[in-house]
Amino acid sequence: MISTFISHELKAFWRSKNTGKSIAIRVVMGLLILYLLINVLLLGFFLDKLLEQLFPKADLLVSFCGVILIYFIADLFMRLQLQDLPTLRVQPYLQLPIKRNTVVGYLAFTSLLSVFNLWPFILFVPFVLKIIAADSGALVAFAFIISIAGLAVFNNYLALYIKRKANLNGWIYLIAAGIIILLGLGDFLWHFYSIRNISYLFFGQLVNHAALALLPVALGAMMFYLNFFYLKQNLYLEELGSHKASSYKSSTEYPLLNRFGNIGDLVGNEIKLILRNKRSRSALIMGLFFMLYGLMFYGKPGPAGAEGFKVFVGMFMTGIFIIQYGQFMFAWQSSHFDGLLVSKISFTDFLKGKYLLFTIVSTFYFVLTIPYVYYGWRTLMIHFIMYLWNIGINTTLVLFFANRNYKRMDLSKGAAFNWEGMSGNQWILSFPLLIAPYVIYGPLALLHHGDIGLALLAVTGIAFIFTRNFWIKKLEADYYTKRYTIAEGFRNK
Amino acid sequence: MYGGVTVVNVPQLEIKKGESVGLVGNNGAGKTTLFRMILDLIRAERGEVLSNGEPVAGHEKWKNYTASYLDEGFLIDYLTPEEYFYFIGGLHQQSRAHVDDFLAGMTDFFNGEILKKGKYIRDLSKGNQCKVGVASCVLQNPELLMLDEPFANIDPTTQFRLKSLLKDMNKNKGVTTLISSHDLNHITDVCDRILLMEKGVIIKDIATSSSTLSELEEYFGVGQTL
């Protein structure tokens, strides 16, 4: 059965309208992973030397044990942002004589195939073999490896569990990320406790009592079953009798948008789309999470606090919605795209509506970043420049890519199983957006003309805003060459 | 041409203003594809579709006088029916009061199932979604109305109401109607001209008369003793 699922998924991949794009993404992703792999491998081999340098006074074993837990906390944080949720279109299998456990088990097990589960081994196993196996014997070394495996599995399923939950309710994601950040701050900023000591408390004991390795394994198994049962319980296409069915859905309108006529109506509809569908609503709420990026980077010594980084963070904070939501454009409307095509809407108005929507939401996020003025007026100025950049250039870029997105997205389906939200693959698509400002700013900053770089960014942003109509014309012409492919792709369930 | 196989091959077809045309044919005969081609949703490999003498591809004028409902993909499913009607009305420069007036006239057709129910369109049943789609077409005061299997999902009462609605639009308001259906009784009742499609080709083009129904039944009932 498992092999059938795998072959079905492979077919789904190769026969999809988007295959070309997906392959390109995978190739870039593969290269990046390979590069990281080599780095981590080197790091793993020289971990003992590195630890000696970092903590010259401490015992090597003590500092190693301390690092493990820190690694896993950071790992969880990265997983939350980058790890893919395994997807399988379960609908066609549910009424067939296939055990539910098989379907769920397949989903649960394939998620172990993430590269994230490879890192801890590459990083820690060389050290374990080199130092611990030599000092304390093979059994202890084995216990270490088992515990690391247990923690990796635990993290894997915890991250997926949080992501599945967050899929239905974006606030959960915010809370989880907040807790992790607070955990980190509690140690490194406020010094309430030391994660390293806690970590040593456990791993230090492992040297004497190898059997303790069963504890992380038990934790991992527990998390696996939690996931398993959650999936199994939610293996329904739609939840009947949930509260949403009973509540009265009232009609709303946004009087402010009426000023924009037809375009305003389109934007009003799209705002309703965002607020009335779980997935798009989550994208909006998760955008709030990125408002914390400034807290994580600003005011820190070293490169993280430098101006060049503020350009990056500023663009992220004011433009996250454009990046996140814009990526799946126009697929958000794929279920009624035919309807839009035959109704009396000109594509120019349609595009103008998108620009207006992006401007509104970016403005909203920019206003939210105003408190960062605490880090100086210059910070706020950079945010404003990047805000201009976002509504000038990134909107246009995103819409250019939207003309190349042929993959249908079903918003009305139960979201727990068809989730293509935040994952590494998705971020690859935003690379061009992230790199673009540095093409202008980077060289100038290196020549110590950062101010000129910033000024140029602002001027470019404003220039794009004023030449919008020109870009709309270009996008429209581009769209007319692709509209049949887009419409056909969206009809492809 | 579609995926290497000819799906629709129509050498020439002319529909005159004010005609009511019915399209019949078995599954896969190409009815929906023909509709989509007329609505510029699929590009024809060769040839073109002219509406009022103007090609539909690359032009937008036809959208002003054409209303169509092929499937649920034409509805914006996260809106309430009211919001959807206001939106469509707004596209045709109709005020909300005008839309309200129109909706008041549709109460019979809706049978109390659509308006003020507090549901999004996606939460309605297929039949009720079809009612929303048809009503939004009528709202647009079209000169050309295209419906793909409108009788398929709706209850018998609504089927009769829809038939009289369609006849009224065609006879009294001069709307050109193009309708496909698997229900031979309904289609011969509503339409003056029947096109029979088979494997992408229009094999019969007949003006409806008293013998049309039995003629069609004979074609579809091949190999069966009636």
What ranges make up the beta strands (E) of chain B?
A: 20-25, 50-51, 54-55, 66-69, 144-148, 176-180, 193-198, 201-207
User: pLDDT, tens digit, for every residue of A61-108?
Assistant: 888 888 899 899 989 988 887 777 776 666 677 777 888 888 888 888
Say if the Cβ atoms of B73 and A262 lie within 8 Å: no
Instruction: Tell me the C-alpha to C-alpha distance, in Å, between residue A135 and each of A69, A128, A129, A139, A404.
Output: 22, 10, 10, 11, 58
Once rounded to an integer, what is the mean pLDDT over residues B4-25?
Answer: 81
Element spanning A319, H or E: helix A307-326
A336: contact with B, CB 8 A cutoff: yes
For residues A430 and A398, the answer to whether their CB atoms sit within 8 Å is: no
Tokens of A251: 């009609």
A240/chain B closest Cα distance in angstroms: 12
> From its phi and psi, is residue B26 left (phi > 0), alpha (psi between -120 and 50) or beta?
beta
If you average pLDDT over every residue of chain B, what do you get? 88
Instruction: Tell me the C-alpha to C-alpha distance, in Å, between residue A138 and each of A46, A130, A131, A221.
Output: 21, 11, 11, 24
DSSP SS3 for A277: coil
Reported as a pLDDT band with limits 50, 70 and 90, residue A394 is very high
For residues A365 and A287, the answer to whether their CB atoms sit within 8 Å is: yes
Mutual orientation of helices A60-82 and A119-127 as an angle, nearest 10°? 170
Distance CA A342, CA B69 (A): 9
The pLDDT of residue A246: 47
> Do β-strands B20-25 and B50-51 pair in parallel, antiparallel, or remain unpaired?
unpaired
User: Is the pLDDT confidence value at A424 over 70?
Assistant: no
Reported as a pLDDT band with limits 50, 70 and 90, residue B1 is very low
Once rounded to an integer, what is the mean pLDDT over residues B148-171?
Answer: 93
Q: Which of A338, A343, A346 sits opposite B73 (nearest CB)?
A: A338
Q: Does a cis peptide bond (omega within 30 degrees of 0) precede residue A330?
A: yes
- With CA atoms as reference, the chain B residue closest to A274 would be B78
B213/chain A closest Cα distance in angstroms: 33
Reported as a pLDDT band with limits 50, 70 and 90, residue B223 is low
- With CA atoms as reference, the chain A residue closest to B37 would be A484
* Phi then psi dihedrals of residue B13, to 5 deg: -150, 130
The pLDDT of residue B2: 35
CATH topology of domain B1-65+143-226: Rossmann fold (3.40.50)
* Phi then psi dihedrals of residue B202, to 5 deg: -80, 110
A337: contact with B, CB 8 A cutoff: yes
Distance CA A41, CA A36 (A): 8
Give the CA diameter of chain A.
Answer: 77
Residue B181's nearest CA partner among B163, B165, B205, B167 is B163
Reported as a pLDDT band with limits 50, 70 and 90, residue A244 is very low
Chain A 49-78, CB below 8 Å of chain B: which residues? none
Q: Which of B70, B79, B119 sits opposite A269 (nearest CB)?
A: B79
The pLDDT of residue A303: 62
Residue spans of the domains in chain B: they are 1-65+143-226, 76-141
Once rounded to an integer, what is the mean pLDDT over residues A305-332?
Answer: 85
Distance CA B190, CA B160 (A): 10
Mutual orientation of helices A214-233 and A138-168 as an angle, nearest 10°? 20
User: pLDDT, tens digit, for every residue of A450-479?
Assistant: 889 899 999 999 999 999 999 999 999 999
Give A-chain residues touching B126 at CB under 8 angstroms: none
The pLDDT of residue A18: 65
Distance CA A108, CA B121 (A): 34
User: Cα angle vertex B127, ends A416, B39, to 5°?
Assistant: 90
Residue spans of the domains in chain A: they are 19-236, 259-491
Residue A270's nearest CA partner among A320, A325, A317 is A325
Residue A12's nearest CA partner among A108, A91, A81, A83 is A91
- With CA atoms as reference, the chain A residue closest to B120 would be A249
Terminal Cα distance for chain B, rounded: 36
- With CA atoms as reference, the chain A residue closest to B86 would be A265
Distance CA B87, CA B91 (A): 6
Q: Which of A338, A344, A484 sits opposite B63 (nearest CB)?
A: A344
Give B-chain residues touching A273 at CB under 8 angstroms: 78
Give B-chain residues touching A262 at CB under 8 angstroms: 90-91
Say if the Cβ atoms of A336 and B60 lie within 8 Å: no
Distance CA B197, CA B183 (A): 14
For residues B10 and B203, the answer to whether their CB atoms sit within 8 Å is: no
The pLDDT of residue A304: 55
DSSP SS3 for B132: helix
Once rounded to an integer, what is the mean pLDDT over residues A337-351?
Answer: 90
Of A222-226, A309-313, B64-68, B83-87, give the lowest mean pLDDT range: A309-313
Distance CA B213, CA B210 (A): 7
Residue tagged 């350009």 (tokens): A311
Distance CA B123, CA B142 (A): 28
The pLDDT of residue A241: 38
The amino acid at A111: S
The pLDDT of residue A172: 85
User: Is the pLDDT confidence value at A426 over 90?
Assistant: no
Residue B119's nearest CA partner among A264, A262, A247, A173 is A247
Say if the Cβ atoms of A339 and B73 lie within 8 Å: yes
The pLDDT of residue B3: 35
DSSP SS3 for B30: coil
Centre a 10 Å sphere on the Cβ of residue A70 and count the other Cβ atoms it contains: 17
Give A-chain residues touching B58 at CB under 8 angstroms: 480
Q: How many CB pairs under 8 A join A and B?
A: 83
Give A-chain residues touching B64 at CB under 8 angstroms: 344
* Phi then psi dihedrals of residue B71, to 5 deg: -155, -175
Give A-chain residues touching B41 at CB under 8 angstroms: 338, 341-342, 484, 487
Say if the Cβ atoms of A272 and B58 lie within 8 Å: no
CA A360 from chain center: how many Å? Answer: 23
Once rounded to an integer, what is the mean pLDDT over residues B8-17?
Answer: 84
Instruction: Tell me the ipTM for this assembly.
Output: 0.82
> From its phi and psi, is residue A307 left (phi > 0), alpha (psi between -120 and 50) or beta?
alpha
> Do β-strands B54-55 and B144-148 pair in parallel, antiparallel, or remain unpaired?
unpaired
Once rounded to an integer, what is the mean pLDDT over residues A131-144?
Answer: 88
For residues B143 and B115, the answer to whether their CB atoms sit within 8 Å is: no
If you average pLDDT over every residue of chain A, what do you get? 83
Centre a 10 Å sphere on the Cβ of residue A105 and count the other Cβ atoms it contains: 16
Distance CA B190, CA A429 (A): 52
Tokens of A168: 């239905």
Element spanning A88, H or E: none
- Rg over alpha carbons for chain B, rounded to the nearest Å, is 18
B2: contact with A, CB 8 A cutoff: no
Residue A98 makes CB contacts below 8 A (sequence gap 6+) with A1
